[in-house]
Amino acid sequence: MCGFIGIAGLPGRDIAPELYEGLIALQHRGQDAAGILSFDGAFHLRKGEGMVRDIFSAADMARLKGNLAVGHVRYPTVGGGGSQDAQPFYINYPFGVGMAHNGNLTNFVDLKEAQFPKENICLESSCDVEAILYAFAMGLQRTLRKDPLEHRIRTAVENVFERVKGAYSVGGVLAEGVLFGFRDPSGIKPCIVGRRVTEEGEEWAVASESVAFDVLGFEKVRDLENGEAFFVVPGQEPRFVRVAEGPHTPCIFELVYFARPDSFLDGISVYKARQRFGEALARQWRDEGAPTPDVVIPIPDSARDAALSMALELGVPYREGFIKNRYVGRTFIMPNQAARQDSIRRKLNPIPIEFEGRRVLLVDDSIVRGNTSRKIVETARRAGAKEIYFASTSPPLISPCPYGIDMATREDFVARGRTVEEVRELIGADYLTYLELDRMVEAAQAPNGEVEGFCTGCFTGRYPTEDAAASLDVIAAERAAMRV
Ligand code: AMP
């Protein structure tokens, strides 16, 4: 999972400093690497490994000239590695095109090792966006420079859709002075378009999450639909082009865990969706005849909104029982199991008075390997809890994500091949429940029902794109190689 933002500022402006602010707002989507590509008649690029604040110096920002720019934050997915894989990427020939994306291609290896070499294209990195970039440029090459821009963009995106499989949302810049964006035919990754009205005219942006617009004073216009492209020449009206039709299945895990609660994805408030997860979980809790707790305690941060609404619905007090050290970093970023377990201990510290002698209900957004929940149950017990109940606002995770959420290989999922009772025993809780899939999907849908279905592959093993399952073997092999 990654984040990107592209901005088309009014002619004559340098937009990179604002893009930088947008990237800071998207930092939760990736802390591994970042970059900005700007354009003022020539491309200017700065990218590197680390957090946004560590990569760009004042001198870099002064060099990143131009009113068109696209930026990226990278989340480490399997195989993704050094600075050569940081985004954005650009080429100058046969057309100047720059790009950043969020997603993961399921046929990247085939494109890089079998298909593209036949056309004398050698990708330099193991970063998926390079494949999208070349597929886009090959499509552009089928058009004439004098063709209408809409035709050229449509043909380029059509070629991407034809050749590139998986999940991807893209923001990019064309050297003829255009900002563009597009979303894969299933619309798995989020992609939203925004506008800022100034006295001199309108400026446009495309980004992974609406929260990037909030900090820059852009209003959200709308999400791109699945298979849709958008482009704008600064100072002119933008155009939206539907390139492919089909079922729209955005990733439900964005709502569960990944996105910031102050974002809207496909018209759904992430915050409200999490509240609805909590209410649904409370109703399920009652339907199951689960034991009544004395207190509800969230596992910070992503479970907070759900835990609060669950507590309200159950009529039980809500308390903050764990304090998070924000400077340890997300535990998944740690390279191996031992480091991960250590970091959970350093990351969450209990407030014992909230646990002593109480029956506590701990709420988390998900259980993946079970490390976090086991440690947390242990900690709650040491802090004096009398009984510990555990609720997950999403169903058991059992299947890896081929689309870029770095979770685990099949055998790492604690719920795979285990009953709920076996997982309960393993994490050491006195009661465990997971929000059922149907209840979660219903709760995820906004009351306005803009999204009919979601990708729920990590909970079901059924994916919306055809070659997803095969790509899981490639991911498993890469992970195995990394462990050696
Ligand atoms: P685990 O210890 O493997 O069971 O991890 C569960 C915890 O990791 C939960 O608290 C989630 O909030 C969090 N989590 C779930 N998915 C991810 C992910 N893809 N990347 C980072 N953290 C995650």
In this structure, what token pair is assigned to residue 136?
Answer: 């886009």
Nearest CA to ligand 1 atom 5: 368
- Catalytic: which of 2, 251, 455, 458? 2
Alpha carbons 445 and 328: distance in angstroms, whole number: 33
pTM of the model: 0.94
Q: How many angstroms separate the alpha carbon of residue 332 from the centre of ligand 1? A: 7
Both 276 and 392 in a single domain? yes
Whether residue 282 is contained in a domain is answered as yes
Q: How many angstroms separate the alpha carbon of residue 375 from the centre of ligand 1? A: 13
Alpha carbons 323 and 318: distance in angstroms, whole number: 14
Both 366 and 333 in a single domain? yes
pLDDT tens across 412-426, in order?
999 999 999 999 999
Nearest CA to ligand 1 atom 21: 332
Nearest CA to ligand 1 atom 15: 366
Mean pLDDT in residue range 456-467? 94
Both 289 and 238 in a single domain? no
Query: pLDDT value at position 448?
Result: 72
Please identify, by atom number, the ligand 1 atom nearest to the C-alpha of residue 344.
2
Both 325 and 456 in a single domain? yes
Alpha carbons 435 and 428: distance in angstroms, whole number: 19
Q: Cis peptide leading into 300, omega within 30 of 0?
A: no
Both 42 and 183 in a single domain? yes
Residue 340, pLDDT above cutoff 60: no
Whether residue 338 is contained in a domain is answered as yes
Both 156 and 226 in a single domain? yes
Q: How many angstroms separate the alpha carbon of residue 343 from the centre of ligand 1? A: 13
Both 241 and 323 in a single domain? no
CATH code, 182: 3.60.20.10
Please identify, by atom number, the ligand 1 atom nearest to the C-alpha of residue 332.
21
Please identify, by atom number, the ligand 1 atom nearest to the C-alpha of residue 375.
2
CATH code, 386: 3.40.50.2020
Domain that holds residue 367: 268-463
Q: Give the up-direction half-sphere exposure of residue 82: CA atoms within 13 A in the CB hemisphere.
A: 3
Q: How many angstroms separate the alpha carbon of residue 276 from the centre of ligand 1? A: 20
If one compares 477 and 118, the residue with the highest pLDDT of the two is 118
pLDDT tens across 295-326, in order?
999 999 999 999 999 999 999 999 999 999 88
Q: What is the DSSP string of 119-136?
A: TT----SS-HHHHHHHHH
Q: How many angstroms separate the alpha carbon of residue 256 from the centre of ligand 1? A: 11
Nearest CA to ligand 1 atom 13: 366
Q: How many angstroms separate the alpha carbon of residue 293 from the centre of ligand 1? A: 24
Query: pLDDT value at position 315?
Result: 98
Whether residue 390 is contained in a domain is answered as yes
Query: pLDDT value at position 372?
Result: 92
Which residues, including other chains, have CB under 8 Å from residue 75's CB and lie 6 or more apart? 1, 2, 3, 29, 30, 31, 32, 404, 406
2 is catalytic: yes
Query: 249, 278, 311 — which closes off a domain?
Result: 249
Q: What is the DSSP string of 69-97?
A: EEEEEE---TT--SGGG-S-EEE-SSS-E
How far, rounded to the nearest angstrom, does the alpha carbon of residue 42 sit from its chain's CA centroid?
30
Which of 347, 372, 479, when mutated, tests ligand 1's pocket best, judged by the most ligand atoms within 8 Å of its CB?
Answer: 372
Closest CA to 157 of 146, 145, 174: 174
Range with lowest mean pLDDT among 51-65, 84-98, 323-337, 456-470: 323-337
Which of 254, 270, 332, 426, when mutated, tests ligand 1's pocket best, judged by the most ligand atoms within 8 Å of its CB?
Answer: 332
Please identify, by atom number, the ligand 1 atom nearest to the C-alpha of residue 333.
21
Nearest CA to ligand 1 atom 9: 366
Q: How many angstroms separate the alpha carbon of residue 257 from the centre of ligand 1? A: 8
Range with lowest mean pLDDT among 119-123, 403-407, 448-452: 448-452
Whether residue 478 is contained in a domain is answered as no
Which residues, including other chains, have CB under 8 Å from residue 42's CB and lie 6 or more apart? none
Please identify, by atom number, the ligand 1 atom nearest to the C-alpha of residue 367.
4
Q: How many angstroms separate the alpha carbon of residue 112 from the centre of ligand 1? A: 31
Which of 31, 322, 331, 435, when mutated, tests ligand 1's pocket best, judged by the most ligand atoms within 8 Å of its CB?
Answer: 331
Q: Give the sheet arrangement for strand 228-232, strand by strand.
A: 89-91, 97-105, 166-174, 178-183, 228-232, 239-242
Both 244 and 327 in a single domain? no
Pairing of strands 431-434, 97-105: unpaired
Both 288 and 412 in a single domain? yes
Nearest CA to ligand 1 atom 3: 369
Please identify, by atom number, the ligand 1 atom nearest to the C-alpha of residue 299.
10
Query: pLDDT value at position 459?
Result: 98
Residue 76, pLDDT above cutoff 80: no
Strand positions, DSSP E, 359-459: 359-364, 387-392, 431-434
Helical axes 149-163 vs 128-141, angle rounded to 10°: 130
pLDDT tens across 268-293, in order?
999 999 999 999 999 999 999 999 99
Which of 1, 365, 368, when mutated, tests ligand 1's pocket best, judged by the most ligand atoms within 8 Å of its CB?
Answer: 368
pLDDT tens across 344-388, in order?
778 899 999 999 999 999 999 999 999 999 999 999 999 999 999
Whether residue 473 is contained in a domain is answered as no
Residue 126, exposed/middle/buried by CB under 10 A (0-12, 13-18, 19+)? Answer: middle
Strand positions, DSSP E, 84-227: 89-91, 97-105, 166-174, 178-183, 192-198, 201-207, 219-223
If one compares 329 and 60, the residue with the highest pLDDT of the two is 60
Query: pLDDT value at position 484?
Result: 45
- Give one word for 398, left, alpha or beta, with left for phi > 0 and alpha for psi -120 to 50: alpha
Nearest CA to ligand 1 atom 20: 332
Which residues, including other chains, have CB under 8 Å from residue 339's CB and lie 6 or more apart? none
Which residues, including other chains, have CB under 8 Å from residue 386's CB and lie 6 or more apart? 357, 358, 359
SS3 96: coil
Name every protein residue with a CB atom under 6 angstroms from any ligand 1 atom. 257, 299, 302, 330, 332, 364-373, 405-407
Whether residue 205 is contained in a domain is answered as yes
Q: How confident is the model at residue 259 (pLDDT cuts 50, 70, 90)?
A: very high
If one counts the domains in the chain, the total is: 2
Q: How many angstroms separate the alpha carbon of residue 249 from the centre of ligand 1? A: 22
Both 420 and 330 in a single domain? yes
If one compares 96 and 470, the residue with the highest pLDDT of the two is 96
Both 238 and 328 in a single domain? no
- For residue 34, give the DSSP letter: E
Nearest CA to ligand 1 atom 11: 366
In this structure, what token pair is assigned to residue 422?
Answer: 């076996």
Whether residue 446 is contained in a domain is answered as yes
Q: End-to-end distance of the chain based on CA atoms, in angstroms?
A: 24
Q: How confident is the model at residue 336 (pLDDT cuts 50, 70, 90)?
A: low
Is 410 in contact with 400 (CB distance < 8 Å)? yes
Residue 335, pLDDT above cutoff 80: no
Whether residue 458 is contained in a domain is answered as yes
Alpha carbons 88 and 99: distance in angstroms, whole number: 5
Taking the CB of residue 308, how many other CB atoms lie within 10 A of it? 17
Mean pLDDT in residue range 29-45? 97
| Residue 213 identity | F
Both 342 and 379 in a single domain? yes
Q: Which residues pair with 268 in a beta bridge?
A: 265
Q: Which residues pair with 70 in a beta bridge?
A: 6, 37
Query: pLDDT value at position 223?
Result: 97
Alpha carbons 396 and 413: distance in angstroms, whole number: 9
Which of 322, 342, 345, 366, when mutated, tests ligand 1's pocket best, judged by the most ligand atoms within 8 Å of its CB?
Answer: 366
Angle at 436 between CA 435 and CA 442, to 5 degrees: 95
Mean pLDDT in residue range 187-200? 97
